[in-house]
Structure formats: structure tokens, C-alpha cells
Amino acid sequence: MSPALSLAMPVRNGERFIEAAVGSLLAQSFTDYELLIVDNASTDATQQICERLTRSDPRIRYFRNKADIGAGANFNRGVELASGVLFKWCAHDDLISPDYLARCIAALAARPSAVTAYGRLLGIDESGAL
């Protein structure tokens, strides 16, 4: 059965932030999703981190390109791999609050003609300060 939501996370050389970004997704109150990490031939430890994360949760699927196919093609690959009813991009260096997905899903359900939902953004610097 297809998940309600596909989350696609394109990444290249994201070792510094990807574990925290995935952690914020795994902490969601809404859980009917698949997380597709699409690695554009990273040359850092992204692959090892993602393979470990994949073993920790069956909702995570990791796909690695053999060569750098460019950012646009890597984003497209995320869409092609998705099987969910709904779709959302996730950045490898973003964190989301634990109720973010649930609130977006509820907003879409409340307005059947809506085609997108998103929340307020807060900037975080490299040290983690808001």
C-alpha cells in the first residue's frame, strides 16, 4: 500500500546536517510517509550516514547516483521514485517541528481545492542559533 506522503530529500555532500534533518522527520507526529534520500554522488560521508539511517527505520529509502547528474535531474529523480498520494520536498539541511507534517496534511484535507501547504520558516545559522 502506498504511503499518504512521499518526502524527497535530494542531497550532495550533506554530511554536516543530514542526520539532524532526517531526525526531525523521524520525530513527526504524522507517520504515514516514505522518506526518499536521493544522493547525487556525494564525496563525503553522506553515503555512510544515509545507509546507517536506512537501517534504523523502514520508511527511509536511500538512492545513490553513480555520478553527479546535476541538481535538477537529482530533484526530478526524487519525484520519479515517489509512491505517496502527496509529495513534499525536504532539504538535507532543514529542521521541521514535530507537528509540521500533520498540520500540512490537515490544512490540505480542510481545503480540498488546495494544491500546496507550507508553514512559517525560521532561519538557523550554522551554529544552530535561530
Q: Is residue 122 part of a domain?
A: no
Q: Is residue 39 part of a domain?
A: yes
Q: Is residue 120 part of a domain?
A: no
Ranges in the chain, pLDDT < 50: none
pLDDT given at position 123: 74
Nearest residue to 91 (alpha-carbon basis) of 24, 5, 41: 24
Identity of the residue numbered 29: S
Q: Is residue 118 part of a domain?
A: no
Alpha carbon distances (Å) from 115 to 2, 4, 9, 30, 64: 19, 15, 20, 19, 30
Total number of domains constituting the chain: 1
- Domain region containing 97: 5-110
pLDDT given at position 83: 98
What is the rounded distance in angstroms from the CA atom of residue 7 to the CA atom of residue 116?
A: 14
pLDDT given at position 129: 72
> At 24, which CATH number?
3.90.550.10
Q: Is residue 127 part of a domain?
A: no
Beta-bridge partner residues of 10: 38
Q: Is residue 124 part of a domain?
A: no
Q: Is residue 130 part of a domain?
A: no
pLDDT given at position 60: 99
From its phi and psi, is residue 111 left (phi > 0), alpha (psi between -120 and 50) or beta? beta
Q: Is residue 115 part of a domain?
A: no
